[in-house]
A and B are shown apart, each in its own frame.
Chain A
Amino acid sequence: MPDKNKTIMVVDDEALIAVQIQSYLESKGYTVTGRAGSGEEAVEKAKALRPSLLLMDVMLGEGSLDGISAAEIITRELGIPVIFITAYGNEETINRTKAVDPAGFIAKPFSEQDLEAAIELAFFRMERQDQLKTSEERYRSVVAFAVEAILIVDTRLQILFWNQAASGMFGYSASEIEGKPFLRLIPDRHHGGLSVELDRMVLTEEKNPVSRTTETTGLRKDGSEFPMEFSIASWIIRDEIFFTVNARDITDRKKIDQMKTDFVSLVSHQLKTPVAGVLGCIDNLLAEIAGPITREQEVYLKMMKDISLRNYQNISDLLNVSRLERGVIDVEIAPVLLKRVAAAVVREHLDAIRSKGLALRLKGWKARIMVKADYGKLFEAMSNIVHNAVKFTDHGHLGLILSEENGTATVEIEDTGPGIPYELQGTVFKKDMILQGPPTPNRGTGLGLYIAMEFMRLQNGEIELASVPGKGSRFTFRIPVHPHPSKE
């Protein structure tokens, strides 16, 4: 059933034909708003009646406007589509009608079915165009009102399109920048690194339209700079590749990151200072600087010292995890004598090893193995493992075995403690260990192994765990060897 809201106007200089067409259309349920016999009349009535569609005879005897000229005015000024009806199939006429971009073309003589089909097709196309227009409008408004700068560039990285937010961010108007190279928006000194990155993006994007994000510096028209992040995604139209660049000004985010860093070091300082103060007081009391203490007082003081040390370690762990997560940890790789680190680790825990009566087994300590490592990070990673080994092992031994093979140095730290249950062995190096098991006063943050593993990874090393519940654990550290001239 034809849509009553869609109205048709019939234009023919032969009134009889016009009336015939009208009555046929009305019999089919269409609404005919009016008829016109000349080009002038058609334009005038179309303006007044605003039909949805015109059926226009090309040859109009009366008046100076023929059907094509009238249709041109109506289409251009009113946006109303026109179907031409003509007996003349000559090339010139067809070419002139094409210029109007008609909604259809019916050749005389035509059947009623021809007429109906042409009208339905025209209405269908109108609807489709409306939908396209709406969807285009929708996209256009998304792009226009986006907070992010959105640019379209071609494969030579020339800017083809640029939205309002991009003008606000970089200070160029669309007309100033369109056709100019994208690299104009980035300071010269970053071009080298960036073009490699862009090539990589462009090459990989061709097959993979998932966008990548990169951080760089943006350059405004006035020469000022700002921290910028952008992502690129590619799309293909008719075999031509285009890139959509989304750029964000990340000044605020950078500021917040800095504030977080400052905050963490402030808090850690504030938390560590009192603990260090308490520890110092306990140490002095134990050293009997403030006078002699009894055996029993000593037991209490030692307990206080243990708790304070653990407290201090927990604060350090949390600080390290925070730094690891934000990627703001300094690593300096240099040649390090492996046994020097191992000796420092053993010295650190010597008192605890002795007081628990554990045997210390050291193997492979004669070789001068040099490794490429960050001394502090390697020390801390090994110290965390030895700390746990001593803590959980009540009898038997603690072993530190050093070796070197094929450019990799190995430190095995083994104990005869309770071992680690098989179901936990896959997760001990994960940060979420903190969530497992009930908290007990004897537990630390549970972050020590995670920190140890991350510290080793920062030095291109790793830790492997082998543990048999009830028998003990062995943690194997691997780290690249520093090649050195053979000595001694």
Chain B
Amino acid sequence: MEKTGQTTILLIEDEPVFRLIYRGVLVNAGYRVLEAPDGETGWNMVVNEKPDLVLLDLILPKLSGHQVLQAIRAEPGTRHIPVVVFSVMGQEKDVVKSIELGASEHRLKGVDSPQKILNLIQTILKPKREKK
């Protein structure tokens, strides 16, 4: 696996339309984007690809977003990876649970524009880039 120095973001999302939207925004901003359509594939890609950030939907086939998040936080090799949860589930308890499980941020799809989510990702990744 060649590392071009490009920052890699893994998008775990079952809805093709959201993969299209976020791939567009992220690629446009210069990131390398990996995509997984379900929780299980996503978790395997987290382990194998060690992305710099995971953008994670909550409602997913096979493994739910919260399960994937738990797995990432439980595994020493992936524990440090920032995870941004984005969901249409806007209930406080979903947000609180994401944060409790170790998400960096929880954002709402539809309310927060892709541009806002991009800004957020850039803020999270910034200190890391400066170190490099």
Contacts and interface: CB of A to CB of B under 8 A. Distances in A.
Interface of A: 265, 269, 272-277, 279-281, 283-284, 287, 289-290, 312, 316, 330, 332, 376
Contact of B92 (A272, A280, A376): A376
- Considering the complex of A and B, which 10 residue pairs feature the smallest CB-CB distances, nearest first? A276-B110, A280-B21, A277-B17, A276-B109, A289-B24, A272-B88, A283-B113, A289-B28, A284-B24, A279-B110
Interface in B78-132: 88-93, 109-111, 113-115
A283 B109 contact: no
Q: Which of B91, B110, B113 gathers most chain A CB within 10 Å?
A: B110
B1 interface: no
A260 B20 CA distance: 33
Given A275-B110, A276-B110, A376-B92, A281 B17 contact: yes
6 contacts: A272-B110, A274-B17, A277-B15, A279-B113, A281-B21, A287-B115
Given A280-B21, A281-B17, A290-B24, A269 B88 contact: yes
Contacts, number: 57
A281 B17 CA distance: 8
A269 B89 contact: yes
Contacts of B15: 273, 277
B63 interface: no
B25 A284 contact: yes
A279 B24 CA distance: 14
Given A273-B15, A273-B88, A283-B114, 20 more contacts: A269-B88, A269-B89, A273-B109, A274-B17, A276-B18, A276-B88, A277-B18, A277-B21, A280-B113, A280-B114, A281-B17, A281-B21, A283-B113, A284-B24, A287-B28, A289-B25, A312-B110, A330-B91, A330-B92, A376-B92
Contacts of A376: 92
Contact of B21 (A265, A275, A283, A316): A283
Nearest to B110: A276
A280 B109 contact: yes
A269 B113 CA distance: 18
Contacts of A277: 15, 17-18, 21
Nearest to A284: B24
B92 A332 contact: yes
Interface residues of B, number: 22
A284 B88 CA distance: 18
Contacts of A312: 110-111
A11 B89 CA distance: 91
Q: Which of A280, A284, A316, A330 gathers most chain B CB within 10 Å?
A: A280
A331 to B, nearest CB: 9
A376 B106 CA distance: 14
Contacts of B91: 265, 330
B71 interface: no
A281 B115 contact: no
A113 B19 CA distance: 106
Nearest to A290: B24
Given A275-B110, A280-B110, A284-B114, A316 B90 contact: yes
Contacts of B114: 280, 283-284, 287
Contacts of A275: 110
B45 interface: no
Contacts of B89: 265, 269
B92 A287 contact: no
B131 to A, nearest CB: 29
Nearest to A273: B88
Nearest to B17: A277
Contacts of A330: 91-93
Nearest to B58: A269
B17 A287 contact: no
Contacts of B90: 316
B30 to A, nearest CB: 12
B15 to A, nearest CB: 6
Interface string B22-58: 1011001000000000000000000000000000000
Contact of A269 (B59, B92, B111): B59
A277 B93 CA distance: 23
